[in-house]
Amino acid sequence: MFSFMLASLCFAPDGVTISPSNVARSLPKLVSMIGDSRAAQQKADVTTLQSGTSWQALNVANALMGNPLKTVGNYGISGNRTDQYFASNLTTSIGDTSEIVIFWSCCVNDISQALGGYTSVSGTSITMSNVAQVAAQNAINAVTAALQAGKRVILVSEPGSSGFTSAQVAAVAEVNQRLAEFTENTPGVLLWDIRPVIWDSTTSSTAIVFKSGYSFDGTHLNSKGGYFAGKALATFLAPIVPAYQAWKAVDYQAGPNQLVSNAIFSTVTGGTHDGSGTVTGNIPSGWNVRPLSSTTSVAVSSSADSDAGNDVTLTITASAVDTIYFDFNVDSSLYSLGDVVQAGCDVSVASGSSNAYVYLSPILATTVAGSTSAPNVFALYGSIGEGAGPTEAYQWHMQTLPVAIPVGGSKAYVIHRVTIGFTGPGNFTGTFSKCGLRRRFGL
């Protein structure tokens, strides 16, 4: 398997030998994704990739691996069938700069709509009798076009929906068999089967059952489901794109391009507690801890980091739904409008955290005509509606995509922010390190 992956996904010019030390640098890292709403879930809004969510498995896998991948295009369209989203976006997706195109779970809308029948974009009449064959062939044709364009392809299996009838479940099985047989005989395309990760053991030939707490509607993954799917996807991707920490400790050290002067928590005292709740312990210089609820308690502690500076641990107990901000206000003299910046922060969450989620949410605010606003910029965005994260221990290398501070107005404020949210009473212990906002030379 490993040799096949390298042969399929890595190549060198004639006369160049790829040594083990060069393999990671030569393997692909630019990706795009196409599909329906489950692909579109990669971003928290419909317009920008810079609002990455915690319920899309690729985002989670990338964070677990150290962010070796950069998504350059997301072409997911909510509610679309294969004939619709391929007609709209296939040409664009295979014409972008990505090295790998991920076809994410192709056919749930095809199968859903076939129960009542529909006419495809090409004019074909689709019913339950032919939907699996037609939908799978649509995906195969699209993958073939991507391969011919020089892309490498990852095809994600179709898990279907928990509301499907027995006939629709049979169509899901047929689609997946057709796709598996295609990938067996096609170089350059790999199949990742998501079904064993998210299906409950009670799933049968007549009913699909998602694992408890993995989906909010029986079709789309939530934060818990996205985490476990992402964990499995990271394992699948490891031979293709070895784990790699995109930012090193030196990238967080104070300097002309590091906008957070205490990014590695060199000074662990002198910070502030702003807002409600009870905060004990020493807060790092320049940083602020702000619970929104008066009943939340936060204990702050620090210890030496094995790499550079110090680690800061927030031990939080919430008695109700709450949001806690861990902020650093950037000196306005250090940046200019139009600067391209990228936020990063490592977090290690302890086992036993409950009803909690954590994400990176820098604020790049400007004022135009007296009104202050900021673009959505997130890494692993979480929300009450998408549910809490896992209760097992995990480590994320949170990193936003590069984004330009908006121009056309005046400076308002730039805040490097980590957000910890609670969906109800619970606790969270997270150790943070290397939390910086770096100016880049370009996107």
Clarify whether residues 67 and 169 are in a common domain.
yes
Domain annotation covers residue 430: yes
Clarify whether residues 212 and 336 are in a common domain.
no
CATH of residue 222: 3.40.50.1110
Domain annotation covers residue 243: no
Measure the N-to-C terminal CA separation of the chain; round to a whole number of Å. 35
- pLDDT at res. 18: 29
Clarify whether residues 39 and 176 are in a common domain.
yes
Clarify whether residues 136 and 57 are in a common domain.
yes
User: Is 169 strand, coil or helix?
Assistant: helix
pLDDT in tens, 85-110: 999 999 999 999 999 999 999 999 99
Clarify whether residues 292 and 153 are in a common domain.
no
- pLDDT at res. 307: 86
Clarify whether residues 167 and 314 are in a common domain.
no
Dihedral sign for Cα atoms in the order 374, 376, 381, 382: positive
Looking at residue 284, the DSSP 8-state letter turns out to be B
Task: List all residues 6 or more positions away from 236 whose beta carbon is below 8 Å from its beta carbon.
Answer: 192
Domain annotation covers residue 242: no
b/e per residue 318-354 (b: at least 16 CB within 10 A): beeebebbbbbebeeebbeeebebbbbbbbebbeebb
- pLDDT at res. 257: 92
- Tell me the helix, strand and coil percentages in the chain, rounded to 5: 25, 35, 40
Lowest mean pLDDT among 43-52, 130-139, 248-257, 288-297: 248-257
Clarify whether residues 56 and 203 are in a common domain.
yes
Domain boundary among 212, 237, 262: 237
Domain boundary among 193, 214, 237: 237
Domain annotation covers residue 187: yes
Task: Give the model's confidence band at 23: pLDDT under 50 very low, under 70 low, under 90 confident, else very high.
Answer: very low
Provide the 10 A C-beta neighbour count for residue 416: 25
- Per-residue pLDDT averaged across 241-259, rounded? 78
- pLDDT at res. 251: 75
Clarify whether residues 153 and 257 are in a common domain.
no
Domain annotation covers residue 22: yes
Mean model confidence pLDDT for the chain: 92
φ, ψ of residue 184 in degrees (nearest 5): -60, -30
Domain annotation covers residue 244: no
Count how many domains the chain has.
Answer: 2
Task: Note down the domain range covering 169.
Answer: 2-237
Clarify whether residues 210 and 290 are in a common domain.
no
Write out the DSSP string of 370-397.
TEEE----EEEE--TTT----SS-EEEE
Clarify whether residues 308 and 343 are in a common domain.
yes
φ, ψ of residue 71 in degrees (nearest 5): -80, 120
Domain annotation covers residue 188: yes
Domain boundary among 237, 271, 292: 237
Lowest mean pLDDT among 23-32, 202-211, 231-240, 382-391: 23-32
**pLDDT score of 14 more than 80:** no
User: Is 313 strand, coil or helix?
Assistant: strand
- pLDDT at res. 272: 98
**pLDDT score of 245 more than 70:** no
Element (H, E) at 52: strand 51-53
**pLDDT score of 9 more than 70:** no
Clarify whether residues 158 and 274 are in a common domain.
no
Pull the structure tokens for residue 105: 């779970």
Percent of the chain with pLDDT over 90: 86
**pLDDT score of 169 more than 50:** yes
Domain annotation covers residue 329: yes
CATH of residue 316: 2.60.120.260
- Per-residue pLDDT averaged across 70-74, rounded? 94
pLDDT in tens, 413-432: 999 999 999 999 999 999 99
Clarify whether residues 227 and 203 are in a common domain.
yes
The model carries a pTM of 0.92
